[in-house]
Structure 1
Amino acid sequence: MRILQIHNFYKQAGGEDTVFEQEAQLLRAHGHTVEQLTFSNNDVTSTKAKLQAALGVVYNPQSAGIISQSIKRFKPDVVHVHNFFPLVSPGVFWVCRKYKVPVVMTLHNYRLLCPSAVLYYDGRVQLENVQQTFPIKPILQGVYRGSKIETASVVLATGVHKLLGTWREKVSKFIALTPGAADLFQNSSLRLRPEQLSIKPNFTADPGLGAATREAYFLYLGRLTEEKGIRTLLKAHSIKPFPLKIIGTGPLQALVEEYAAKNPLVEYLGFRPREEAMEQLKRARALIFPSEWLETFGMTAVEAFATGTPVIASNIGGGAYIVQHQQNGLHFSPADAQELASQVGLLEQLPDLAKKLGQHARQSYEQHYTPEANYARLLQIYGQAIGATEKPASATVAAEAGL
């Protein structure tokens, strides 16, 4: 099979970039021909480039031309879009339809429903945006890059294409990463057809099992932002101090650094390469995943599972789906620092429980999140997308969508 992957890199690398590269490697390892067409926000530096990007959010003729040439030259069986914002624009879906090439898009975030991309601002989840074609509140809040104008451009781009039926008619298949995310997108202003949505989690390469006997510390691994629950984590630590290591950078880095300087049990490690982060996971008692938004997935939780490390996760979004309470980890209520502290205390007092949860975590990884399991599901979705462009979707295809 010939697959054309399309991705717009943000200025700051993230999980979407990792999935984009990993899926390409996986497909190539199985003998498929993969071409990657990439765009980068790092190229938008001059005033002229910024103006062109802003004007092209609804339909970017320059990127549409590049994609058109790639399709004519490469002749893909399927196009897989990971991120079109902002330089690619939704024009990619119209180009694919013009050449009758099936197109798949992975829903890595909630950008199609809310310009914040995370459905979270003002300290809470903002579900009212899900049903609005042009959500106004986030524009007034300037939730995208702190700018009302830039936020409005995002709302305009997604809203216009809702009215044009782009999401409903021009995309063969959407990939949601969890059933919860799929349900949210299905019942939204996008008005998607049920057969358009399939569920496929992300995967991670096997880093190997961690130590049989773990050290005393707990680990946080991820971005230091409000929606990730960093304040709740620090508050839980202040209620009941415990050995804690924190890896990551972000807007709340100064807060973490200040807290760590005053608390000898907290070690802030800043940014660490993946290999080092995995080594820290392999020795940790558990990973803490305190997110307070509806995570579309939870890659660090799956990486923890792969090392046989249990996860203490807030019971919301991806964490609620990936982590099964008392099976491969523990749940606590979102933003409830006292409950988080209690769950940490439980694993401190019961190391055998932590070991059992870790063993089940590894089993969860082997069953659901290996490259091979992911490859089989991805190929199935590509086949459904190709079939959907050749003939109307049947009831069987709708049932196989996983909803």
Structure 2
Amino acid sequence: MRILIIHNHYKEAGGEDTVFFAESNLLEEHGHDVRRLTVSNKDVNSTSQKLEAALGVVYNPKSAKIVETELQAFKPDVVHVHNFFPLLSPAVFYVCQKYKVPVVMTLHNYRLICPSAYLHYNGEVHLEHVQQVFPLKAILDKAYRNSALETASAVLATGVHKLLGTWRNKVSKFIVLTPGAQELFLNSSLRPKPEQIAIKPNFTEDPGMGDENREDYFLYMGRLSPEKGIETLLKAQKSKSFKLKIIGEGSVRSLVEEHAAQHPEVEYLGFMPREEALEVLKKAKALIFPSEWLETFGMTIVEAFATGTPVIAAKIGGAAHLVHHKYNGLHYTPQSAHELAEQIEVLEQNPVLAYELGRNGRTTFEKHYTSEVNYNLLLDVYHAAIGQKERLASSAMAAEASL
């Protein structure tokens, strides 16, 4: 199969970039002909570049030409879009339709139904915009990057194409990562057809089991930003005084550094390459996943499962689906530092439970989140998209003949 994979990289690498590389490599390993078409926000620096990007969010003719050139040269069986915002724009979908190539798009975040992309801003979860084509209040609230102008740009880019029917008619299959995300998108302003949505979780390469005898520390690894629940984590650590290691970079780094300077039980390790971070994870007593937005998935949770590491997670979003309380991890109420501290104490006082949670996490990984399981699911989605396109073409020909 010939697969063109399209992605707009962010300035700060994140989970979407990881999935983009992992899936494209996986397909190549299985003998598919894969071509990657990428752009990066790192290339947008000057005022003129920023203006060009802003003017092209609804339809970028330059990007359309680039995609068209790729389609003509590569002639893919299917196109898989991971992210089109802001540089590529929805022009991608119109060009693919012109050349009758089916499109699969992974919904890594909520950008199509919320300009913040997280359904979380100003310290709160926001679901009031989910069914609005143009969520104007989000612009006044500066939902995206604390900028009314950039929020308006995101609202315009998605809202216009809701009115045009782009999402319903020019995307063959949407991939969502959990059943919860599926339900949310089905009942949103996106108005997808039920048959458009397929559930396919992310995966991780097997890093191997962690140490049977764990060291005396808990671990947070991920982006350091407000919606990730960092403040709740630090409050819990202050009240319970447990040993904590933190890996990551982000906007609240100074808050973490300040806390670590005042509390010797906390060690801030900064950014670490994935391989090194996994070695720290393998020795940890548990991974703490305090995220307070409706994560579409939770890659670090799956990595913890793979290493046999228990997970303590806020019961919201992807974590509510991935973690089963007292089976492969423990839940607590989002934003409750008190409950988080209680669950940490449960694990500290019950090493047998911690061992069982870790083993069950490994079983969860082997059943649902290995590369082989994921490859088969991904191929099913591609075949369904191609089949759907062929059925539509056949119906169109029959209708034309009848006319």
Q: Report the TM-score when normalising by structure 1.
A: 0.96
Aligned 8 A contact 1:216 1:348 in 2: no
Partner AA of 2:344 in structure 1: V
- Match of 1:252? 252
Structure 1 unaligned blocks of 5 or more: 394-403
Deviation (angstroms), 1:275: 1.1
Partner AA of 2:373 in structure 1: A
Q: Deviations over 1:69-110 (max 9, x none)?
A: 100110000000000000100110111111110000000000
Q: Deviations over 1:332-354 (max 9, x none)?
A: 01111111100000000011110
Q: Deviations over 1:302-349 (max 9, x none)?
A: 000110101001100010000000000000011111111000000000
- Match of 1:61? 61
1:373 and 2:382 matched: no
The 5 Å alignment of 1:248-287 reads 248-287=248-287
Q: Deviations over 1:165-223 (max 9, x none)?
A: 00001000000011101110111001100000000000000111000111110000111
- Match of 2:399? none
Secondary structure of 1:131's counterpart equals: coil
- Match of 1:325? 325
CA distance in 1, matches of 2:313, 2:42: 34
1:164 and 2:164 matched: yes
Deviation (angstroms), 1:251: 1.0
Deviation (angstroms), 1:143: 2.2
Q: Deviations over 1:3-27 (max 9, x none)?
A: 0000001111111111001101100
Aligned 8 A contact 1:232 1:337 in 2: yes
- Match of 1:148? 148
CA distance in 2, matches of 1:288, 1:43: 34
Aligned 8 A contact 1:311 1:328 in 2: yes
Deviation (angstroms), 1:45: 2.0
CA distance in 1, matches of 2:126, 2:262: 34
* C-alpha RMSD of matched pairs (Å): 1.0
Secondary structure of 1:327's counterpart equals: coil
The 5 Å alignment of 1:218-367 reads 218-367=218-367
Secondary structure of 2:130's counterpart equals: helix
Secondary structure of 1:128's counterpart equals: coil
Secondary structure of 2:128's counterpart equals: helix
Partner AA of 1:34 in structure 2: V
Aligned 8 A contact 1:132 1:189 in 2: yes
Secondary structure of 2:129's counterpart equals: helix
- Match of 2:188? 188
How many residue pairs end up in the alignment? Answer: 393
- Report percent identity of matched pairs: 68
The 5 Å alignment of 1:19-58 reads 19-58=19-58
- Match of 2:212? 212
Structure 2 unaligned blocks of 5 or more: 394-403
Aligned 8 A contact 2:113 2:189 in 1: yes
CA distance in 2, matches of 1:344, 1:186: 36
- Match of 1:179? 179
CA distance in 2, matches of 1:392, 1:100: 10
CA distance in 2, matches of 1:38, 1:19: 14
CA distance in 1, matches of 2:342, 2:43: 47
Secondary structure of 1:214's counterpart equals: coil
- Match of 2:75? 75
CA distance in 1, matches of 2:147, 2:338: 35
Secondary structure of 2:215's counterpart equals: coil
Secondary structure of 1:264's counterpart equals: coil
Aligned 8 A contact 1:247 1:277 in 2: yes
Deviation (angstroms), 1:146: 2.2
CA distance in 1, matches of 2:374, 2:291: 25
Partner AA of 1:228 in structure 2: K
Deviation (angstroms), 1:135: 0.5
CA distance in 2, matches of 1:239, 1:150: 39
The 5 Å alignment of 1:107-122 reads 107-122=107-122
Q: Deviations over 1:47-75 (max 9, x none)?
A: 22211111100000000001011001100
Q: Deviations over 1:90-142 (max 9, x none)?
A: 11011111111000000000010111110001221100110000001221122
Aligned 8 A contact 2:3 2:78 in 1: yes
Aligned 8 A contact 1:53 1:86 in 2: yes
Partner AA of 2:115 in structure 1: P
CA distance in 2, matches of 1:122, 1:145: 10
Partner AA of 1:368 in structure 2: H
CA distance in 2, matches of 1:286, 1:42: 35
- Match of 1:398? none
- Match of 1:400? none
Partner AA of 2:51 in structure 1: L
Aligned 8 A contact 2:122 2:143 in 1: no
Aligned 8 A contact 1:16 1:108 in 2: yes
- Match of 2:86? 86
Q: Report the TM-score when normalising by structure 2.
A: 0.96
Deviation (angstroms), 1:392: 4.8
CA distance in 1, matches of 2:35, 2:392: 28
Q: Deviations over 1:17-43 (max 9, x none)?
A: 110011011000000000000011112
Secondary structure of 1:130's counterpart equals: coil
CA distance in 1, matches of 2:161, 2:103: 16
CA distance in 2, matches of 1:122, 1:28: 42
